[in-house]
Amino acid sequence: MNTETRLQLKNLCKSFGKRRVLNNVALALGAGEVILLCGPNGAGKSTLLRILAGLEKPDRAELSVSDAELRSWRHCKQRLLQQTLYLHQHPYMFDGSVRYNLAYALPRKLDAQARRERIDQALAWGGIAHLQDNPSKDLSGGERQRVSLARAWLRQPRILFLDEPTANLDQASRQRTLDLLTPLKESGMSMVIASHDAHHFAPLADRTLYLHERQLIEAQPILNSRILPGEPDLSVRIPA
Amino acid sequence: MSRQGPLGEWKLLFTQTAMVLGQIALAFPILAAMGHSALQAVDKRAWETARTLGASPLRAFITLMHEARFGLMAALLAAFGRIIAEVGASMMLGGNILHYTRNIPTAIALETSKGEFAQGIALGIVLLTLAFTLNALLQNFQGRGQPVT
């Protein structure tokens, strides 16, 4: 990991009606860095990721993308959309085949031959070649997750935001997701992973942050047997 | 549209243009309301996924229309059904002038009012055939399957 700052965020505030969910949140994300974002349901993890991906407007925020100067979110929105990619908790598949969905992530100027080759590579990378002609709406949760990661691999964003990527997946699918994220990290892609599954992503993460009382604080993954009684799990320790 | 009306200077009454404008006025609210609800019904994630995958707002909107195509097609069929059998507006605005503003519904109305029921029924069958054919073509288009990459 080098010292280049991919994304810097300051003074982020976001309210829904009278309820403030994020208050003066600050964050810095380095090149190739993976941040694990934890917090209780409704804490604002998804909202934070969506704002950083340029999909949701904050009440106030100052951002710098790829070492540019700090500017308002509105000024940075286009840059965020170009350089980041947000993966939904339940990935959306366009109505069409898996190939069609992968093709969507490619630049339109690419010629037909190059498109075919890139899609074949993505199918092989994601281990989904056998699904290539299947209607994407019929895919299972784990298969959708792999297709969405293959779309990310094709698009090669500088920053990848993942919202609960292993929610509702079985152990094998969770492991496959982790196996696909590892080479993305090695390729230099920065990531922010919002997940309750701290145990699972701890080996991949460089830092763990906890969304506590509308602000981000540094945390550490720890063994915690309270979440699943009798079955050791890693949760996070937050400073007192 | 009459000569004494606010659009009188345009001399549109009893012209084909007036008929077309009348049909648009009838079809537009159906198209707008049903089209709007069809687009509203598309999952919000479709727009967001398109945008985060690098689509411009225009391309994302086209994608949204593709996702909503069944609803949009239903809107189109409803609007088509509304205007293909329209007699009142065509009669008032077109005047039912032979070889100029007479269409099948106004011709059916004229023939049946004259007591020429056989002619009316024959024209009705032609109209029904046209409507069924177009519906069948659109249904076929809807069910054709996946877009090609």
- Chain A to chain B, count of Cβ pairs less than 8 Å apart? 60
Range of weakest confidence among A74-88, A181-195, A216-230, B48-62: A216-230
Which positions in chain B touch A105 (Cβ < 8 Å)? 53-54
- Nearest-Cα distance to chain B for A130, in Å, is 17
Q: What is d(CA A35, CA A210) in angstroms, rounded to the nearest whole number?
A: 10
CB-based contact A100 B66, cutoff 8 Å: no
Q: How far is CA B132 from the centre of its chain?
A: 14
**What radius of gyration do chain A's Cα atoms show?**
18
Find tokens 């993954």 and name the residue: A221
| Nearest alpha-carbon partner for A180 in A119, A103, A113, A126 | A126
Which positions in chain B touch A111 (Cβ < 8 Å)? none
Residue B9's pLDDT band (cuts 50, 70, 90): confident
Residue A230's pLDDT band (cuts 50, 70, 90): very low
- pLDDT value at residue A212: 83
The dihedral of CA B79, B83, B88, B90: what is its sign?
positive
**DSSP per-residue letters across A89-146:** SS----SSBHHHHHHTTS-TTS-HHHHHHHHHHHHHHHT-GGGTTSBGGG--HHHHHH
Query: Is the minimum CB–CB distance between A92 and chain B shorter than 8 Å?
Result: yes
In this predicted model, which residue has the larger pLDDT, A220 or B130? B130
ipTM of the complex: 0.89
Which residues 13-72 on chain A approach chain B with CB closer than 8 angstroms?
A: 50, 53-55
Residue A232's pLDDT band (cuts 50, 70, 90): very low
Query: Is the minimum CB–CB distance between A132 and chain B shorter than 8 Å?
Result: no
Find the residue in A nearest to B53 (Cα). Answer: A105
Q: What is d(CA A116, CA A121) in angstroms, rounded to the nearest whole number?
A: 9
